[in-house]
Amino acid sequence: MRLAALRNSPIFRKKPVEELLRSVSHEGGLSKVLGPLDLILLGIGAIVGTGIFVITGVAAAYYSGPALLMSFVIAGAVCTVAALCYAEFAAMVPVAGSAYTYGYAALGEIWAWIIGWDLILEYSVAIAAVAIGWSGYVVDIIHEAGILLPAAFIHPPGVPGGMINLPAVLIIAVITALLIRGVKESVRVNTVIVTIKLTVIALFLILGITHINPGNWHPFMPYGWHGVLTGAAIVFFAYIGFDAVSTAAEEVRRPQSDLPIGIVGSLAVSTVLYIAVSAVLTGVVSYLAFKNTDAPVAFALESIGYTWGSAVVAAGAICGITSVLLVLLFGQTRIFFAMARDGLLPGFFSSLHPVFRTPSKATLLVGSVTAIIAGLLPLEAVAELVNIGTLAAFIIVSAGIIVLRRTQPGITRPFRVPFVPFLPVLCILSCAYLISALPTITHLRFVVWLVLGLLIYTGYGRAHSTLQRMF
């Protein structure tokens, strides 16, 4: 009886799929301007960042060896299962909010709040960390040009002489203004940046493939299967970002068909790029050599005579970071917008700009908060929170697929995950394993954040929820 009463509690009420679709069917909503190619490039912009220029060397040197490409295949397979779950939800419920919205439909309001609050943390920390990384690359290039910037304006408080990381603040401000201006304009900028980034990667592959020494691939698995699997856990986080495509659901012209293409397509292209770079990288240079460098791609180019490799990789890295930052800010504002529209956050933030049809107030808030974090705080200690937040979202979405298949088998599904419940359960177990591998302090910080969120939900969200007012 108590269990039944708990299930019927208002906080466990689910938002019907029909109600979610009805809430976005009216005129005057977000501008529907995106097509499948826009979505694929948006996904690539979020996924392919500095990881391809940095994490490949670490994983090869200490964990996978030349079998690095197998680590990327395994990690890509796990992400593909999660991507299929996102694709089914995105086509079935093309509503802004991503995992938050899917949790609301499948598991109930309290789970929607938990995952929404989790995503706010994940995206905010990621945006700030990426902006700090962008600042570091730009400052290094300026210094190499012989221009020394005052320490007070390139480091946060706590670093000797530091007052504020001004470049990190400025790049967030620029992208925030771009996102307020319009989604189409933002996507055009992303397309240019992604094109430059892909050109740099293609250049490395073309130059490197002619200098491959097959002897560098032996032994192929120097650390055994354990090393390959550990390497997969390391490089898994190079795939994070494809879920941001689903946050654009309300701005897609044909969401039922285009969203699955964008989600799965961007992940597929990124996986092929990662595997190709891994093969060439470990073929050009012995995997052991990467123990002595933090820039494996530049190191590989320089080892075969292309001394300008560092400059090319720096350009690719800056473009990679900029596109990641743009897509993360885009995704964060759409999740915040969806939660505000549902009443769980102040409705003020769900209003749209009268001219640009963008969630300008939510965008301005997210940009301001993340700029303050990036400018004033060193984020090394909380960087793992990005990973645990993403993995938790994957678990919620995968569980939601299983639940909705049982509770609403007749609902229209333009795209269907095959082999349910086997594949979603596999994704849940894989993500749970990766969460368990994270440091204990990360788990504790995550729990503290969730407890804070539940207090806010109890004090504000529950009382102002639009779903609760319907009953």
Q: Give the per-residue pLDDT at 380.
A: 56
Instruction: Note the CATH number of domain 34-409+430-466.
Output: 1.20.1740.10
Give the residue-averaged pLDDT of 192-197: 92
Give the residue-averaged pLDDT of 142-160: 87
Q: Give the per-residue pLDDT at 1.
A: 46
pLDDT in tens, 386-431: 778 888 999 999 999 999 999 999 898 999 999 999 999 999 998 8
Alpha-carbon distance of 393 to 75, in angstroms, equals: 17
* pLDDT exceeds cutoff 80 at 310: no
Q: What is the three-class DSSP state of 212?
A: coil
For residue 152, give both structure tokens.
């007070």
For residue 358, give both structure tokens.
């963008």
Q: What is the three-class DSSP state of 299?
A: helix
H helices within 342-439, ranges in order? 360-376, 384-407, 422-436
Q: Which residues contact 38 (CB under 8 A, 6 or more apart)?
A: 187, 191, 262
Round the average pLDDT of the chain to a whole number and report it: 88
Alpha-carbon distance of 428 to 369, in angstroms, equals: 32
Q: What is the three-class DSSP state of 155?
A: strand
Give the residue-averaged pLDDT of 25-51: 85
* pLDDT exceeds cutoff 60 at 27: no
> Is cis: bond before 10, omega within 30 of 0?
no
Alpha-carbon distance of 247 to 183, in angstroms, equals: 12
pLDDT in tens, 260-294: 999 999 999 999 999 999 999 999 999 999 987 77
> Is cis: bond before 16, omega within 30 of 0?
no
Q: Which of 20-34, 80-94, 183-197, 311-325 has the lowest mean pLDDT?
A: 20-34
Q: Are 375 and 383 in contact (CB under 8 A)?
A: no
For the chain, give percent helix, strand, coil, nearest 5.
75, 0, 25
Q: Is the pTM of this model over 0.75?
A: yes
Give the residue-averaged pLDDT of 328-334: 93
- The neighbour count for residue 445, using CB atoms within 10 Å, is 17
Give the residue-averaged pLDDT of 313-323: 85
For residue 265, give both structure tokens.
């397509």
Q: Give the per-residue pLDDT at 366.
A: 95
Q: Which segments within 144-292 are labelled E, that is strand?
A: 154-155, 164-165
Q: Give the per-residue pLDDT at 207.
A: 92
Q: Give the per-residue pLDDT at 97.
A: 87
Q: Give the per-residue pLDDT at 126.
A: 86
- Residue of 83 and 237 predicted with greater confidence: 83
Q: Give the per-residue pLDDT at 433.
A: 86
| Cα three-residue angle 253-259-263, rounded to 5 degrees | 145
